[in-house]
Chains A and B, each alone.
Chain A
Amino acid sequence: MAGKTISEKIFSEKSGTDARAGDMVVARVDLAFAQDGTGPLAVRQIGKLGFERVANPSSTVFFFDHAAPSPRQELSDDHIFMRDFSSKTGAVVSEVGEGVCHQLVAEERAAPGMLIVGADSHTCTAGAFGAFATGMGSTDVAVAMATGKTWFRVPESYRVVLRGRFQKGVCSKDLILHLIGDIGADGADYKALEFSGDMEALDMESRLTVSNMAVEAGAKAGLFPSDDITRKYLEEWGRGNAFREIKPDPDAEYERTLEYDLSAIEPTVSKPHRVDNTALAKDLSDVKLNQVVIGTCTNGRLSDLRVAAEILRGKKVAPGVRLIVVPASRRIYLRAMEEGLLRAFVEAGGLILPPGCGPCVGVHQGVLGSGEVVLSTQNRNFEGRMGNPKGFIYLSSPATAAASALTGRITDPREVMR
């Protein structure tokens, strides 16, 4: 019998079976969460199920990030609805201003070996810890909240072997955009991506960006084995005792193996209206921009803001460009403030939004005008994503976004980096 992938190991442990790819299992869930766009429906489904409690209140969380602060009375009422449910059941509310669910899960909750379900497609972010974390709908998450478990099909895995080091000006966002462009938006549909190789090339924040976008290749999860980098990150957030080692068996079976030489990756951009519609930043210098967004659950972490601030400090954003910066969490906001990063953005002509999803979901805080073009560090560029189907969304790394804010057109960051 072959060894097991990370997915098979976690599902074996959580289902109490010898779980193999393709099996259907019912598994115990360690964390179930929803956000303010999916939470109200989850609460109503728990009611329909006839439950007045949740299985594990302290591991049941409602994050207010998509409409934060709320731009409309309907959404304010949704917030009240979830607050009421939480106060009745003991579930946790993460209030307006705390930050994006995926970043808060990384800071406060995710750990190697956990099984995490979230009613948000980018729940796969926590795969960076070696947790099996996957996005589901409100009903699935409602069932997990109420009963502490749900059903899964154990996925087949693709092994993604990474070799070498990034060039200056290139980061993990370029890698994951390149990978999605390579295999396509459904290239890993229903599969788990499992990363291996020169893992030291990616710090935890870089890994979180990669795992965040696994779903953009159709994957169910994007998993990193846990190592010293994972351990140190947990220690930094005061959760060192949550560390455990999780890695695949040497003879685990993979449906497919992909290999990438990190030193060959160049600044990469996704063009409208598909994430897999990729090109090199240097080939898009004729694309003029109205708005640049740096932040979100994909790239709103401290290292992202540092790279962007370094490029923007002491300079001015091009005339006609709105620069919007969205720290992913309150803690990141504070650290960015202490390090002077926010000052660099504001002095360059940018504006700082409260921690949360910002304009990414088209709800508020930077909805595109018709015909307008945005370059954003977010993860998705579908028609209508940012509130207007007549807008054009390009995706890039924080370095490319910052460099492009200076020139007013899509710019390879290596052109402006010292």
Chain B
Amino acid sequence: MKMRGRAWKFGDSISTDHIAPGRYFHLRSNLPELAKHVLEDARQDFAPNVKPGDFVVAGWNFGLGSSREHAPTIIKLAGVSAVLARSFARIFFRNSINIGLPVIAVDTSFINEGDELELDLSEGTVKDLTNGKEARFRPLSPQLLRILEDGGLIEHIKKHGDIVL
């Protein structure tokens, strides 16, 4: 599975409060409306300008904090094809797999704002087509890749009739 898109750079420790702020708590049952505020407290220019296929590219411990699945859900709803970060907080990582948003733990230091990226999930590579650099990552475990490729945990269970690890 290959994806291409533009990089939006974020720093370290982007929390679920940055991604889906508590002041919009009342919009959680209105996800398209909530998605208009995605990552607003980290970068105000992101939500109005993100294009389908773009990548969120960040530093360490992306998604720390709350269990709110609304966080990866609105990143996906905004059209983001994958999140690349040095590392992820556990619950955010798991939520992303469960809703079918690819999350890749990889060195992101060589990627610059606005660079054109090509991500190959099964090969485990991310290429920066703008500066020609490339990084490899350990592909997701076969179990997680299956849930992701099925489109998330709900679709996975509907397809297989059960959780099939």
Contacts and interface: CB of A to CB of B under 8 A. Distances in A.
Given A50-B158, A151-B165, A138 B25 contact: no
Interface stretch (A196-204, A378-386, A398-406, A410-418): A378-386
Interface residues of B, number: 42
A189 B94 CA distance: 12
A137 B87 contact: no
B6 interface: no
A78 B28 contact: yes
B3 interface: no
B23 interface: yes
Interface stretch (A66-74, A226-234, A236-244, A302-310): A66-74
Contacts of B28: 37, 40-41, 78
A240 to B, nearest CB: 31
Given A136-B94, A143-B153, A367 B23 contact: yes
Contact of B23 (A119, A382, A384): A384
A218 B18 contact: no
A99 B28 CA distance: 21
A385 B25 CA distance: 11
B74 to A, nearest CB: 11
Interface string A70-93: 001011011001000000000000
Contacts of B98: 137, 139-140
Contact of A185 (B22, B23, B61, B69): B61
Most buried by B among A26, A75, A120, A389: A389
Interface in A100-155: 118-121, 123, 135-140, 142-143, 147, 149-151
A189 B98 CA distance: 19
Given A135-B67, A274-B13, A362 B23 contact: yes
Contacts of B145: none
Given A26-B165, A189-B87, A389-B21, A77 B68 contact: no
A261 interface: no
Contacts of A352: none
When A and B form their complex, which 5 residue pairs have the shortest distance between CB atoms, in order from nearest? A362-B22, A137-B69, A137-B95, A74-B26, A382-B15
Interface of B: 13, 15, 17-18, 21-23, 25-30, 41, 60-61, 64-70, 73, 87, 89-91, 94-95, 98-99, 141, 143, 152-154, 157-158, 162-163, 165
Interface of A: 24-26, 37-38, 40-41, 45, 48-50, 66-67, 72, 74-75, 77-78, 81, 118-121, 123, 135-140, 142-143, 147, 149-151, 185-186, 189-190, 215, 218, 220, 274, 361-363, 367, 380, 382-389
23 contacts: A49-B158, A67-B25, A75-B25, A78-B28, A81-B29, A119-B67, A119-B69, A120-B66, A121-B67, A135-B67, A136-B94, A137-B98, A137-B99, A139-B69, A139-B95, A139-B153, A140-B94, A142-B154, A147-B163, A361-B22, A363-B26, A382-B17, A383-B15
